[in-house]
Every structure is written in C-alpha cells, then in structure tokens.
Amino acid sequence: MKLTPHFTLAELTASATAQRLRIDNTPPGDVAQRLLYTAEMLERIRATLGVPVIVTSAYRGPVLNRAVGGVSSSDHMTGEAADIVAPRYGTPYAVAALLAPLVSTLGIGQLILEGIGGKQWVHVSTRPPQRAVNRILTITATGVRSGIHQLA
C-alpha cells in the first residue's frame, strides 16, 4: 500500500531480521496512521536532498525491536521513526549536516547521526524528545554527543 508518492507501507515495515526469524511485523491500526506521518516527513527529506532516500529500518514491533537490540522506548515501535541513508546525496554525515538546521521546517522531531559497528545511518523521528538537548545528536560506540559530528 502506497503511503506517499515514494514510500510504501511494505517499505516501512520490511525487516530482514523479521523475515529470518519469522516475526510478524504487521503494525496495528494506530501505528499505521503514524507511519503515514513518518512517510510524509520522509517525502519532505527526499525533496530537500533532491535524491531518493533508502529506509533501512522503520516500524519494529516489540518482538522485532528486542531481536535487533532496540531500546524499549524506541520511536520505531510506535511508527514514528525511520533510519535512512541517501547514497546519491552523500554520506550519512552529509545528510545529517544538511538536515540539522532544517529540523523544525521539515517536521523532524529528532535527528540522530548514528555510527556503530562500521555502519552509519541517519535516524529521523516525527516525535520531539522530552529534552530539547536530545533533538539533534550523534551516537557512536563511544557515546552520545549533542549536535552532528563527523564520524571516523
């Protein structure tokens, strides 16, 4: 089912881990509605970047979230977050650096540049965090830093 011109429900619920472990990752109705808002945010990000955005992870039901080691308060479980890359634009750092000053304009509640285990991606959420200092972050294996910082 197409949520927006460039994003489908299947794309926002796809998971290799769920497939491998035979986990049903079908979102309940209230989550499906929030996934529409997430897809709309992703459309705004795509238009800003001017290139396709690849969703590497979006909705994760509780069982799948535990299987991938997600935190129990993850916005992924409520359909309010997506992890993305845009290789045609540049590195995840370049994407995050462009988006950081535009979070309010684009309706991004939280922006996190993540780099763990040799992989890098940008986490975007429609829900702002409780503390404003946590709105734009860089997270690596060595810790959490406020703002967007170049990854090694």
The pLDDT of residue 23 is 96
- Indicate whether 12 belongs to any domain: yes
- Indicate whether 131 belongs to any domain: yes
Q: Buried (b) or exposed (e) across 47-69, using 16+ Cβ within 10 A?
A: ebbeeebebebbbbbeebbebbe
3-state secondary structure of 80: coil
- Indicate whether 151 belongs to any domain: no
Q: What's the gap between Cα 44 and its chain centre?
A: 14
Average pLDDT for 136-143: 94
The pLDDT of residue 60 is 97
Query: Residue 103 to residues 44, 55, 87, 100, 112: CA-CA distances in angstroms?
Result: 11, 18, 20, 6, 11
8 pLDDT band, cuts 50/70/90, is very high
The pLDDT of residue 117 is 85
The pLDDT of residue 107 is 96
What are 83-129's pLDDT values in tens digits?
999 999 999 999 999 999 999 999 999 999 999 888 999 999 999 99
**Structural domains in the chain (count):** 1
- Indicate whether 63 belongs to any domain: yes
CATH no. for residue 55?
A: 3.30.1380.10
What are 45-82's pLDDT values in tens digits?
999 999 999 999 999 999 999 999 999 999 999 999 99
Host domain of residue 38: 2-146
- Indicate whether 38 belongs to any domain: yes
Pick 132 or 64 by higher pLDDT.
64
Q: Taking 80 as the threshold, does the pLDDT of residue 131 lie above it?
A: yes
Locate the DSSP E strands across the chain: 2-4, 7-8, 54-57, 81-85, 110-116, 119-125, 136-140, 143-146
